Amino acid sequence: MKIRKLQHDETPPNDLLLLADPSRELVDAYIAEGECYVAEENGERIGVFVVVALDANTIEIKNIAVREDRQGQGIGKKLLQSAITVAKENGYRTVEIGTGNSSIGQLSLYQKCGFRISSVIKDFFTDYYDEVIMENGIQCIDMIRLRLEIQ
């Protein structure tokens, strides 16, 4: 598997991006603003992450996703580690990531990679998304923000 930065004239992997975020509008907005990285194997895109700088010291992972048939094989962890490396190489001190209160697997993965919960944005998913999002039998309402200090 190779992870590389997508060039600005290449089409983003929208099918993968929409696995992590059901809002095409939000996906388009952070793709325009940030840098998109893809994981490829045998010429096929199997994973993606998008990073957006929040300020000179802080970068946020706005989207991370693995193709459904390749989930649970360690690829998500490799993508997250690669995003942390990108942040370090570009001199950022802090990496942030946000996910839903119902995203149990994602919360597990991020904490296993060293992220710690920093804040909660109450009602984020009911304020900004039209549809009701359910995961693990829980309604996704609040955004849990996590942070990793890297240097």
The token pair that represents 54 in the structure block: 């929040």
Contacts with ligand ACO: how many residues (CB under 6 A)?
A: 23
Q: What DSSP assignment string belongs to 105-129?
A: HHHHHHHHTT-EEEEEETTHHHHH-
Q: Is 41 in the site for ligand ACO (CB under 6 A)?
A: no
Which residues, other chains included, contact 106 with Cβ-Cβ below 8 Å and sequence gap of 6+? Answer: 99, 100
Q: Is 83 in the site for ligand ACO (CB under 6 A)?
A: no
Name the residue number minimizing CB distance to ligand ACO.
76
Q: Is 36 in the site for ligand ACO (CB under 6 A)?
A: no
The token pair that represents 47 in the structure block: 């994973």
CB of 65 to ligand ACO, least distance (A): 4
Give the nearer residue to ligand ACO in terms of CB position, either 9 or 107.
107
Which residues, other chains included, contact 40 with Cβ-Cβ below 8 Å and sequence gap of 6+? Answer: 1, 2, 3, 4, 46
- Span near ligand ACO by CB under 6 A; candidates 38-46, 84-92, 103-111, 119-127: 103-111
Give the nearer residue to ligand ACO in terms of CB position, either 24 or 112.
112
Q: Is 82 in the site for ligand ACO (CB under 6 A)?
A: no
Three-state DSSP at 84 gives helix
Could you report how far apart the first and last alpha carbons of the chain are, in Å?
28
Contact present, 68 and 76 (Cβ < 8 Å): no
- Span near ligand ACO by CB under 6 A; candidates 5-13, 31-39, 107-115, 138-146: 107-115
Q: Is 51 in the site for ligand ACO (CB under 6 A)?
A: no
Residues in contact with ligand ACO by CB under 6 A are: 19-20, 61, 63-66, 71-77, 97-99, 104-106, 108-109, 112
